[in-house]
């Protein structure tokens, strides 16, 4: 298949940009918070590590999202990394609903954030700051508490849910060991 090339000369075709960005596989998360007594939650794949010292993460939320006022008002948020068998949970939090939490097993985390059961990892954060990101708002959070377990992650790539299959690569293993050794 030939490579499509598009010059961004001010007449952006957002569909082509989304298609190209979709070639970068991401994990799938659900971000939750509570503001003014209302639980908020949404599916996001814009999650990223930002800093190890101090422990900071970031994610972004579209300015047109109905959840934006709640997240802007909240002092805390929780990012929950979904497992491969949680695509239905991802879908639940990706579509509008009066109460996305109805019928779910939920515990309360720091700052009153709803915590979902069975996720691969969770990061409970205090909102450190927000930044303008064009049609999105970037949320930077200081990680206050985390949890994790072994398991296969849910992956999103080219507009569909996927799973990650490990590949044997002797150089990748050496690279991984060198990176983790340098973090200690």
Within a domain: residue 4? no
Within a domain: residue 15? no
Place of tokens 């064009």: 134
Within a domain: residue 18? no
Q: Which residue has the higher pLDDT, 20 or 145?
A: 145
Within a domain: residue 168? yes
Question: How large is the average pLDDT for residues 131-144?
Answer: 97
Q: pLDDT (tens digit, 9 = 90+) per residue, 40-96?
A: 999 999 999 999 999 999 999 999 999 999 999 999 999 999 999 999 999 999 998
Within a domain: residue 142? yes
The parent domain of residue 36 ranges over 24-183
Within a domain: residue 7? no
DSSP string for residues in 20-60: HHTTS-EE-EEEEEEETTEEEEEEES--EEEETTTTEEEEE
How many domains does the chain divide into? 1
Within a domain: residue 9? no
Q: What is the pLDDT of residue 40?
A: 96
pTM of the model: 0.85
Mean pLDDT of the chain: 90
Within a domain: residue 38? yes
- 50-64: b (≥16 Cβ within 10 Å) or e: beeeeebbbbbbbee
Please answer whether residues 25 and 55 qualify as being in contact, where contact means their C-beta atoms are separated by less than 8 angstroms.
no
pLDDT band at 184 (very low <50, low <70, confident <90, very high): low
Q: pLDDT (tens digit, 9 = 90+) per residue, 157-168?
A: 888 898 887 776
* CATH number of the CATH domain containing 63: 2.30.110.10
């Amino acid at each position: 298949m030939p490579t499509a090339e598009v010059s961004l000369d001010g007449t952006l075709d957002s569909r082509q940009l989304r298609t190209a960005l979709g070639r970068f596989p991401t994990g799938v998360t659900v971000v939750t918070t509570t503001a003014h007594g209302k639980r908020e939650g949404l599916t996001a794949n814009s999650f990223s590590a930002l800093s190890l010292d101090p422990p900071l993460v970031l994610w972004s939320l579209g300015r047109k999202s109905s959840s934006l006022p709640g997240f802007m008002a909240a002092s805390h948020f929780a990012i929950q990394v979904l497992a491969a068998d949680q695509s239905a949970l991802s879908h639940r939090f990706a579509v509008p609903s009066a109460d996305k939490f109805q019928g779910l097993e939920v515990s309360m985390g720091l700052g009153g954030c709803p915590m979902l059961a069975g996720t691969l990892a969770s990061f409970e954060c205090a909102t450190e700051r927000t930044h303008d990101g064009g049609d999105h708002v970037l949320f930077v959070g200081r990680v206050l508490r985390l949890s994790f377990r072994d398991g296969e992650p849910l992956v999103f790539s080219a507009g569909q849910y996927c799973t990650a299959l490990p590949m044997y690569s002797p150089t990748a293993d050496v690279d991984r060991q060198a990176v983790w050794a340098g973090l200690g």
